[in-house]
Chains A and B, each alone.
Chain A
């Protein structure tokens, strides 16, 4: 069954006519060519496919596009255009958070989601905030440090 789904993607209204059960992840990557959203598990476990839906972090490999009718989706491509997004990305680069990079766009989304809720998070809050994002390279320490750095540098942004 093919249906028209309208939603906001990185602050622009878009529409797509497709099977409503198609995974949002495939819609973003295959139909909108937004390759910053990664697939690493396909079962909701790793967070590489994270985006913000109505400002809340979700994993797109589990969401049928039919469920986001009217919603607002922000991917790394949208976030990186904002002051907050840039602040996080720069902090990740300076703080040594990035190794192979495959988990990182999802981590940046998680960081944004966390900072929106806790602009000055404790280390424990940071660790909890990224617990749904698996990283096999960094052991997380420098990611935690970098999020703290982003929160300091971006004081007032969140």
Chain B
């Protein structure tokens, strides 16, 4: 990695406290008189609640349900769409839907009581898969077609091109559910402070939580104070889902007047939390007589589960990334998010892009196979370049350094040589993938919806506080932003403090999602720091605040999805090499090489850690993270002994490099990268396995049992 002054690693500000075990996570908070809560949940995937029989509750124990929502309060959580109910009232849409909370002082007693709650339902036929959802099995429960959303974007003239195409390739690629497995489960504590309510919560977006739940008790946002506790991983799983805990807790504490804690155990956290959207992507691709792709007609369907929440936005990102890093002259992409009676799907690192990127990469591999050329030849011919038109008829506005990145991974992995020597079906294989990730909110969302603000405060002792709602959840944001501010102020980073946000004390810098925090919030912080520097001598104590400024010249129409969906992208290339055991079809990964363009790395060690972690999570997604529906527990693989994530032994150490490509609108040239690094390794892995066993692969994950089926 190239060394730039800002890129030079510093010791992460939170590292020692975390390693020494002194940092407090939400489960480590205890308050006087604190009560515990257990969730009472739906046991059926779809039905009407006929009755709820509670055991006799001892004094000091409570059952909290929608009936406790005060006059004027609304029983809904305000996520991007406000359809998610805080408590189910009459109908339930999925196993695990919140019906109520049992609250009391003793956790053992609560377990006892919970086992005695008897709920009877009138059950209805339900849908689980995308097909069942589309067929409205059991009758639609969202509109008359079970579709939360359905839209199409067009570029060029697909129909005309298909008429003259030399060859047409059809394909269907699927991906499964994925569980976040942030190592810290979801948890929150609610309590009263004066006439306000305080939520301590492990969450990505404290301001989202506040906005989502204040309406439950009919109070203005300011009456609910959200304090983020050290967050033990999130990956999107703590973007909207904390509302599902914080909402009922707020109603409980409002009703009871005492602090109430709700911490999910791992079983609950894996059975009853949001997941990555399963997907089905169908392609019809036209190729001319020279083997060039001239048109793609793509049909994307995401399984959104029981409530929409943020599925529309996830789907948009999936659709906008559906042609990958390739310039396809004519394209049509239709996207649908279908309702099923499964736990709602939600944000997960990559936010809809990984599914379609996996699909397009795999589809191109299949085409290359039919054309008898190496996938790399087909892919590099179509690489996007600066000025190219995107699927939304916007433009690529930056230099695309894919060729340089490609060169790095080729040199390091020995791909060309290995492709020549590993015969297909020789149980050895090497695979390659390319991917990108549009930075920040789609289109003009930053300008129209988020309107981020950053506050910096200079203290008497010369230290500076960075007061923003953006959160550290492991990705290294505190370190990165402190470096940016310190760099602009030209002071030592140790003089900059960036505490975990408290919504009553910090500026709303927007949610910590969409890889926007370094790039967008960092840029505003840089400007704030520069203006603080200018005014430094005005006073001993000084506060400056800056707002987001949208760069000129990037048109976007949110109604038609036309224009520059993203101003800039992060880019990636990944090579994975495998050996398949001919006796057991276990896959042994023998090499992982990647190159990324993240603009300029704000801290190379932080970036390195993100790349490593993102790639392993992506390889887990492809190789082992199987998650099926179960009529009993909602999902079959619950808990960490059944839902399998990679250990230190599953993948070898990685070789990762960066190509520096400063981004005009990012702080010190940085772009977002937290999600990018997840987007591509799964496709490279599947490519490698597919070559090793000489079989096309159409879906992930592919544990050895699945490979056996492919072969026999």
Distance in angstroms between the alpha carbons of A74 and B24 in the assembled complex: 20
Distance in angstroms between the alpha carbons of A133 and B27 in the assembled complex: 20
* Contact (Cβ within 8 A) B653 A144: yes
B17, B180, B474 interface centre (most CB from chain A within 10 Å): B474
Q: Which residue of A lies closest to B267 (CB)?
A: A42
Q: A35-B24, A42-B266, A137-B233 are in contact. Are A144 and B648 (CB under 8 A)?
A: yes
Interface residue SS majority, chain A: loop
Is B232 at the interface (CB under 8 A from chain A)?
yes
Is A94 at the interface (CB under 8 A from chain B)?
yes
Q: A39-B27, A42-B266, A93-B19 are in contact. Are A100 and B11 (CB under 8 A)?
A: no
Distance in angstroms between the alpha carbons of A138 and B9 in the assembled complex: 16
Is B265 at the interface (CB under 8 A from chain A)?
yes
CB distance from A42 to the nearest CB of B (A): 6
Q: A101-B18, A144-B648 are in contact. Are A136 and B233 (CB under 8 A)?
A: yes
Is A128 at the interface (CB under 8 A from chain B)?
yes
**Which B8-55 residues sit within 8 Å CB-CB of chain A?**
9, 11-12, 14-25, 27-28
Residues of B close to A142: CB separation below 8 A? 605, 608-609, 612
* Contact (Cβ within 8 A) B608 A102: no
* Contact (Cβ within 8 A) A139 B184: no
Residues of B close to A126: CB separation below 8 A? 648
* Contact (Cβ within 8 A) A98 B14: yes
* Contact (Cβ within 8 A) A131 B654: no
**Could you say which of B9, B180, B616, B647 contacts A96, with CB atoms under 8 Å apart?**
B9
**Which A74-104 residues sit within 8 Å CB-CB of chain B?**
75-77, 80, 88-90, 92-94, 96-104
Stretch at the interface among B162-170, B395-403, B427-435, B638-646: B638-646
Is B613 at the interface (CB under 8 A from chain A)?
yes
Residues of B close to A100: CB separation below 8 A? 18, 182-184, 231-234, 473-474
Residues of A close to B648: CB separation below 8 A? 126-128, 130-131, 133, 135, 140, 143-144
* Contact (Cβ within 8 A) A101 B474: yes
Q: A99-B476, A102-B25, A128-B649 are in contact. Are A138 and B19 (CB under 8 A)?
A: no
Residues of A close to B9: CB separation below 8 A? 96
Distance in angstroms between the alpha carbons of A135 and B232 in the assembled complex: 10
* Contact (Cβ within 8 A) A136 B182: yes
Is A16 at the interface (CB under 8 A from chain B)?
no
Q: Which residue of A lies closest to B29 (CB)?
A: A35
CB distance from A23 to the nearest CB of B (A): 12
CB distance from A140 to the nearest CB of B (A): 4
Q: Which residue of A lies closest to B677 (CB)?
A: A139
Is A46 at the interface (CB under 8 A from chain B)?
yes
Is A9 at the interface (CB under 8 A from chain B)?
no
Interface string of B604-647 (1 = CB under 8 A from A): 01101101111111000000000000000000000111000111
Distance in angstroms between the alpha carbons of A102 and B19 in the assembled complex: 9
How extensive is the interface on chain A, given as a class?
35 or more
Residues of A close to B180: CB separation below 8 A? 136
* Contact (Cβ within 8 A) A80 B15: no
Is B214 at the interface (CB under 8 A from chain A)?
no
Interface string of B176-206 (1 = CB under 8 A from A): 0000111111000000000000000000000
Distance in angstroms between the alpha carbons of A12 and B605 in the assembled complex: 38
Residues of A close to B614: CB separation below 8 A? 139
Is A141 at the interface (CB under 8 A from chain B)?
yes
Q: A36-B20, A92-B15, A105-B19 are in contact. Are A43 and B184 (CB under 8 A)?
A: no
Is B475 at the interface (CB under 8 A from chain A)?
yes
Is B230 at the interface (CB under 8 A from chain A)?
yes
Interface string of B228-268 (1 = CB under 8 A from A): 00111111000000000000000000000000000001110
* Contact (Cβ within 8 A) A76 B14: no
Having A102-B182, A126-B648, one finds 7 other A-B pairs with CB under 8 Å, namely: A38-B27, A40-B640, A98-B18, A100-B474, A108-B20, A138-B612, A143-B648
The contact sample of 16 A-B pairs, CB cut-off 8 A, is A35-B24, A35-B27, A36-B20, A36-B21, A41-B639, A44-B641, A45-B639, A93-B16, A98-B19, A102-B232, A102-B474, A103-B183, A130-B648, A134-B183, A139-B616, A141-B654
Q: Name A's B-contacting residues (CB within 8 A).
A: 35-46, 48, 75-77, 80, 88-90, 92-94, 96-105, 108, 123, 126-128, 130-144
